[in-house]
Amino acid sequence: MPRPLIKENASVPGLRETDVLYSQTRAHVHLNRLKHNTAILRKYAGKAPLMAVVKSDAYGHGILHTARALAQHGVRWFGVATTDEGLLLREGGIEERILVLTGPPVERLHELPKHELEVTVSSPAIADAVLECATHAFRVHVKVDTGMGRIGIAPGQAERIVTRLDRAPHVKIAGLWTHLATAYSDAGFAREQLERFDHVVGKIGDAAETIHATATGSILRFPEATSWNRSLARAGIGLYGYTGFAEDYGLRPAMTLYSKVTHLKKVTPGTNISYGRTWTADRTTSIATVGAGYADGYPRILGNRAFAAIRGQRYPVVGTVCMNMFMVDTGPEHTIAVGDDVILFGAEEKHSENEPGAADLATWAETISHEILVGVPAHVPRIYFH
């Protein structure tokens, strides 16, 4: 087993080593797997350098530890969601380039160039605000909405706005970018978006230092998304071991969420389990209570849907998941003991098919693996392994 870095890597400020050791639920984050996943994504991205998207606390993995590990592995770009995330990286010693992917509040715009944070210009109003702060040396990435319908400048407006920004003495157009809405679900529409973006690139792309249109799905499935000169490849969920597709492409889940068996009992036929009496024993069996619940990032909807792994075997979750506990049916014969580790999702060093992944939980919870990962709250200790 790799050596844990407990004292220096606990994720919650003020957390004691004993809190980590005796917490029922904890997340193991394998930094070597982040590096493994980066190497695979680089292979698919071709000549395009990677931008590691570490927003939302690096998808729950810990933004500083993740960024430091990836920087040591040669990643030179990071993407964050907010100005504060960018400042956190700077305060943590990250010197690489950082793009704030969302349009910043105009009242905080002046903070970004002071800390060498690059700005997403996603509307004419933000472009105007950048031009009004002309004394600052802004590096901007103009976001074009080619079909996502979220933020971004309409393709027909992009040329005028890029031209205005390009003429400003203190503005450098560091990027021109877009985001695909259906890389996982509708290849035809994704390619239509890429064609729209290519039309914009053909008109004004020479003004930009980089061109970027990818996320993990498009890196893996659409090589044309990194085919422009000066392409940059944004990678998010793939860094953490998930693809959004049935195929894993050799990626390895970086986080394993553990809890412990806290109680064991025998039950007879007709015994009800948990709130709402949603599960009733149909035979004499044993029930193990696990010390995690929806307050710890294990969704309530998983009751009677999911399985958890104990001692390398899978056991069904029975009854309603509670705030801090859930139950599994271990069967009438087992070797489980109170204190045993329970894998909620993720994998040990040698992965077993009996260990559910975040993608499995996402299927059972009718969501995506991204939500499962970022749903692990800050109070759950992160323990880092090299």
| C-alpha–C-alpha distance, residues 265 and 289, integer Å | 9
Query: In this structure, which amino acid lies at residue 373?
Result: L
Give the 3-state DSSP-derived string for 148-189, with helices as H, strands as E and coil as C: CCCCCECHHHHHHHHHHHHHCCCEEEEEEECCCCCCCCCHHH
| C-alpha–C-alpha distance, residues 134 and 114, integer Å | 13
Res 275: pLDDT? 97
Res 386: pLDDT? 87
- Per domain, the residue ranges of the chain are 31-240, 255-385
Cβ contact 213:197 at 8 Å: yes
Backbone phi, then psi, for 150, in 5-degree steps? -110, -80
Res 22: pLDDT? 54
Give the strand pairing for 97-100 and 77-80: parallel
Give the strand pairing for 171-177 and 138-143: parallel
DSSP structure class, residue 353? T
Res 136: pLDDT? 76
Asked if CATH classification 3.20.20.70 holds for the domain at 31-240, the reply, yes or no, is no
Res 348: pLDDT? 81
Give me the tens of pLDDT residue by residue for the chain, a chain 386 residues long: 444 444 433 444 444 444 444 568 999 999 999 999 999 999 999 999 999 999 999 999 999 999 999 999 999 999 999 999 999 999 999 999 999 999 888 888 988 999 999 999 999 999 999 999 867 789 999 999 999 999 999 999 999 999 999 999 999 999 999 999 999 999 999 999 999 999 999 999 999 999 999 999 999 999 999 999 999 999 999 999 999 898 999 999 999 999 999 999 999 999 999 999 999 999 999 999 999 999 999 999 999 999 999 999 999 999 999 999 999 999 998 899 999 999 999 988 776 788 999 999 999 999 999 999 999 999 999 999 98
* Residue 137 token pair: 């040396």
| C-alpha–C-alpha distance, residues 157 and 213, integer Å | 18
Res 103: pLDDT? 84
Cβ contact 89:118 at 8 Å: no
Show which residues are catalytic: 55, 275
Pick the CATH number of 255-385 from 2.40.37.10, 3.90.1150.10, 2.102.10.10, 3.40.140.10: 2.40.37.10
Is 81 exposed, middle or buried (CB count within 10 Å of its CB: 0-12, 13-18, 19+)? middle
Query: In this structure, which amino acid lies at residue 49?
Result: P
384 three-state secondary structure: strand
**One fold for 31-240 and 255-385:** no
Enter the pTM of the model.
0.90
DSSP structure class, residue 52? E
Res 135: pLDDT? 78
